[in-house]
Amino acid sequence: MDNRVISTVLRKIKQAATQWKTPVVVHIGKDKNSFRILISCVLSLRTRDEVTEPASRRLFALTDNPKKLLSLDPVEIEKAIYPVAFYRNKTQTLRNICRELVAHYDGKVPDTLGELLKLKGVGRKTANLTLILGFEKMGICVDTHVHRISNRWGYVKTSSADATEMALRAKLPKKYWIPFNDLLVSFGQNICKPVSPLCSQCFVSDHCGKIGVGDKHR
């Protein structure tokens, strides 16, 4: 798949995505509140959207800034975010992030990739998505859907999400960097699923390399 084809593929996905539910972090990010975006990104790790959204809402009803989050009892945070995956560990991660924001950034979320990655518990996916949604800055957010689909198409050939990000930065036209995650997450949740992709229903199947897809799904 070359860049001429990727343009066609992404245009078709964008058209179809109007019928699909918006990924939860994108929905939360509509108000450009970088703190909420950062926190909801952490909560979303290894957690389904239908769990992340209400957990985020419950937490944001209690706090909307790092200082206030730190004033909460950890058990109160745990109860608010349960049942997100690893909710106890994530409670500690959220508190660590907020301590660093208060101590080093005047309680504000930094707006550069390098500074975001200094926050313990913040990886490249979370940092990039915070930059994109919170500050409208350039970035490529690579989650499990983006990594899987980019390789399944044959657009990149990588073995990790970080490697996929670097490959996409080198190959993907910059005009697609910001919407790429949003489109592929929606596409991955609805059509190009991890275990049983709906190839027979896929409107970009003719452009797909179907790398790693078993014959029964072709």
Residue ranges of the domains in the chain?
Answer: 3-21+140-213, 33-135
32-71 confidence digits (pLDDT tens)? 999 999 999 999 999 999 999 999 999 999 999 999 999 9
pTM: 0.90
Q: What is the DSSP string of 142-185?
A: --HHHHHHHHHHTS---SSHHHHHHHHHHHS-GGGHHHHHHHHH
Q: What fold, for 3-21+140-213?
A: Endonuclease Iii, domain 2 (1.10.1670)
Is the domain covering 33-135 a CATH 1.10.340.30 domain?
yes
138-187 confidence digits (pLDDT tens)? 999 999 999 999 999 999 999 999 999 999 999 999 999 999 999 999 99
- Maximum separation of any 2 CA atoms in the chain, in Å: 55
Which of 79-88's residues contact partners 24+ apart within 8 Å by CB, and which partners? 80/55, 81/43, 81/55, 81/56, 82/55, 83/51, 83/55, 84/43, 84/44, 84/47, 84/51, 84/52, 84/55, 85/45, 85/46, 85/47, 86/45, 86/46
